[in-house]
Structure 1
């Protein structure tokens, strides 16, 4: 049920683009064009990023012996940290005593990865089917309204679908800004693997509430290889950026793409996250936009007549 809801959310977000193309070509061709554009965009990003990521991951693997060597070098920060907190010995003991638990954990991670891949394929397939059949799906939903109010229902429903599309666009823009900010920070302070970290943070930032926090923790952990002050500064950078994203960047972008006031954006995200977790935070802003639209179009005129 959750996967079906997520598929409907994605299809509703892409439907405005398909509808715009549908004015110039048949709908099946418009859907195929949107899918093709998505594949081309994914391929372009992969062609641009993957070679650099492979190079940076290879450099990371090659650098591991150097980091292990520094663990025993008491003149380096990592060595002093290891000497004080016995990191190497703790890791070695954990690997020795919990080899079976680690194997079980690896199997669990493998199952989780396979499950995530299967869920992704299901969501993609269902979303494509919904995109092709969205007009019929809308007619089914709109047909539940009384005949006398059906035209009004169609108008409001189409506006709500358009706001979902605007929300997805705004969320992607915020993630791109987050990734660029991460890349600039890593380049300025010499944090290793800047592009890899920027891509990871941008992907994590697509997840509301906790995404950018998880990305910031990863970058702060990698920045420890530079120095402790850089790691502390990185933590401060992400705390500041999280504040600016939640209370300045996201409200401004969502006000333009979804037409929801900044205060409503913040409050809706917080309430959705508390009630339903990540999924609640994901759908909170489109739901708030829909409620705002219904209040303006239905409740406000009735109050004015009294």
Structure 2
């Protein structure tokens, strides 16, 4: 065997992976020559070698194959998205919540907290808030459950308001039939989905820096700087909206609690919690919460009911023109008309979840239009 042949065989032996296809033999022919060349490509900085030359994009075969593959890929992706639409909604909602927690985590990191500790602090505070909510509402719900026999007796008495409604609409049959089972199944399904969303959101916010880097790697290097600026601006608007919306809801709940306690409305803590939760839903949420609280207030007296209605009308005005613009408006920067249209379309397309994410999606679209589409349309040819 000549020296050249021995050198080639040695290079091929070094390139042949120690745990794949052993033993290495000289009769590998052209593969051995490729392995010998591969040994020269491998470097400490690029152990698997540099990128090869790009394919000839002018090739008719490649163009046809790329077009056919593109059609198949789009159809396959559309079908997979349709099959996994419920799971994708949960994943998207979890990412939505993670972006809402990210401003707090990043603030802690900038103040020299390790990221893992910042994420842990946010999770602990969130769990503490959820636990406090359960401890607050749980006894009230138990008290209401203890009054269930009285409600059932009233439902059978036509002389009471509940009995009259039961006779007209069949409330008792509705609550004791298959619909009650369906409602219970829906509630347990929602609880399971909530747990999944929370766990995913924790993983997302913990790994968000790596997710961010990976997402930008999909953008060509020539366009990556601009993509970084636009992507971070969108993420900042989404996160600011989520965090601001939670703060606005807390303000709504606390102010409602103070008024309901002052007016002597029954179950003020429970009603204030309902106000805070429903206020997370743009436009319709606070109106619905105000109607519920006002109906309970009218059971005390017409005066208390009227004062409660007046408070919620006044608060709705203050929230739209003072609280929400001051807390969220500076971050989202979406015109009021676009907000209303986005909420209506989001609700029509995907219910409550669509309403919740409509405004940040509108904010992202608004930003992209003003930063990419309109400048190109306004530019001279």
Identify whether the pair has TM-score above 0.5, normalized to the shorter chain: yes
Encode CA deviations 1:184-223: one digit per residue, 9 max, x unaligned.
Answer: 3322322112122111211121233432233223212322
Answer yes or no: is 1:12 the counterpart of 2:91.
no
2:128 pairs, out of 40, 45, 49, with 40
Instruction: Pick the structure with greater CA Rg.
Output: 2
Encode CA deviations 1:53-80: one digit per residue, 9 max, x unaligned.
Answer: 62696389579969x89x99xxxxxxxx
Q: Provide the residue aligned with 1:2 in structure 2.
A: 89
Answer yes or no: is 1:21 the counterpart of 2:108.
yes
Q: TM-score, with normalisation over the residues of structure 1?
A: 0.77
Q: TM-score, with normalisation over the residues of structure 2?
A: 0.64
Q: Provide the residue aligned with 1:98 in structure 2.
A: 173
Cα shift at 1:157:
0.9
Q: Which runs of 5+ in 1 are unaligned?
A: 73-81
Cα shift at 1:129:
1.7
- 1:301–1:187 Cα change, 3 Å: same
Encode CA deviations 1:116-137: one digit per residue, 9 max, x unaligned.
Answer: 1100011011111222222232
Cα distance in 2, alignment partners of residues 114 and 97 from structure 1: 22
Cα distance in 1, alignment partners of residues 179 and 148 from structure 2: 26
The answer to whether the 8 A contact 1:252-1:262 is kept is no
The answer to whether the 8 A contact 1:259-1:289 is kept is yes
The answer to whether the 8 A contact 2:278-2:289 is kept is yes
| 1:1-306 map, 5 Å | 1-23=88-110, 24-43=112-131, 45-46=132-133, 50=135, 54=139, 58=143, 83=159, 87-88=162-163, 91=166, 98=173, 102-246=176-320, 248-299=322-373, 302=376, 306=380
Cα shift at 1:114:
0.8
Cα shift at 1:233:
4.7
More helix by share: 1
The answer to whether the 8 A contact 1:254-1:265 is kept is no
> Secondary structure of 2:218's partner?
coil
- Name the structure, 1 or 2, with higher relative contact order (CA <8 Å, separation 6+): 1
User: Once superposed, what is the RMSD of the aligned Cα atoms?
Assistant: 3.7
- 1:188–1:53 Cα change, 3 Å: farther
Cα distance in 2, alignment partners of residues 51 and 284 from structure 1: 31
- 1:261–1:226 Cα change, 3 Å: same
> Secondary structure of 1:145's partner?
coil
Cα shift at 1:146:
1.8
* Number of aligned residues: 291
